[in-house]
Amino acid sequence: MQVTQPFLAYRIDRVDEKISGQLQRITLDDISPGDIIIRVHYSNINYKDALAATGTAPILRHFPLVGGIDLSGEVIESTDERFNTGDLVSVLGCELSESRDGGYAEYARITADSPIAIPHGLDTRSVMAIGTAGFTTALAIHRMEINGQNPDQGPILVTGATGGVGSFAVDMLSSKGYEVHALTGKPSERDYLKRLGAHKVIDRNKLKIGTKPLESARWAGAIDSLGGDFLAWITRSVKPWGNIASVGLASSPELRTTVMPFILRSVSVLGINMSVPRELRIELWNRLANDLKPCHLEEIVTREVSLLELPQAFDAFIAGEITGRTVVKIR
């Protein structure tokens, strides 16, 4: 199938040092080169997408670019023998909306190593409901397990619990038998977190962070999306041989701590980054279709917007007003 007509895309540009995005009609000649053309079904909105679209942080490496770090859809043309017309695939990250045109368009062209075939049990909408946030959570749990984490060791703390990663962490960990303690700055979402499987909900606004080199050991591990003083406090509060998966910096990129938790309690901090080998991406998507498949996916997806509605959707992310996940229906 040849795409000969202009199609709709949300394109981010910089004009007079001001970064903004808008819906435009573009053609295949306007987007990044690649081996595979995909008719895009769905994308989603991550915090990183909001930063890029609003110019709040320097995400894009050149301009203009189509936004959207995730996409799913149907292969309509491929020069790579691994993919055929009609294959349903997803692409997460892979420099989309950084140095390559992304998923906020009716069509996308990508390199052959980027897409992953959607496994049985998921479809083009559900993989975008999961998206980078759910994949990041699966990677965090996977690495924690490799490093010896198991439910018998005690409760796991999840910070930023109402966000995308946090919501998935509460869901996935509880479904695997972990006792989950959810830390949130939105105590009004207590019932939401309980429905996802949180055993205990902690109000971040009332939290008193100690300053001792080692605090009372409360958790067997943690998945942290805040960073800063919160992550430093978690290192001091995790039990011996516990694992902390560091996935974000919503509070601060800095980390001020001592070596005491590491040399006296053997605490491990595991950095979580989406740039993983293709074989591991395939393995994690298979887990997301099986033992790590979210049990409350439709509860976590709190909004679905169309491509036409997309320009008005980003400000709420920057303001920290979003709970759960937002799916973008492209076609």
Q: What is the mean pLDDT of residues 27-51?
A: 96
For residue 8, give the 3-state DSSP assignment.
Answer: strand
pLDDT of residue 210: 83
The residue written with tokens 């395939």 in the block is 282
120: which residues sit within 8 A by CB, 6+ positions away? 289
| Mean model confidence pLDDT for the chain | 96
pLDDT above 80: residue 216: yes
Q: What is the mean pLDDT of residues 274-287?
A: 95
Confidence of residue 16 (pLDDT cuts 50, 70, 90): confident
Confidence of residue 4 (pLDDT cuts 50, 70, 90): confident
pLDDT above 80: residue 12: yes
The structural domains of the chain, ordered by start, are: 7-117+296-329 (3.90.180.10), 133-271 (3.40.50.720)
pLDDT of residue 81: 94
Q: How many CA atoms lie within 13 A of 302 on its CB side?
A: 18
Q: Taking the model in full, what pTM does it have?
A: 0.94
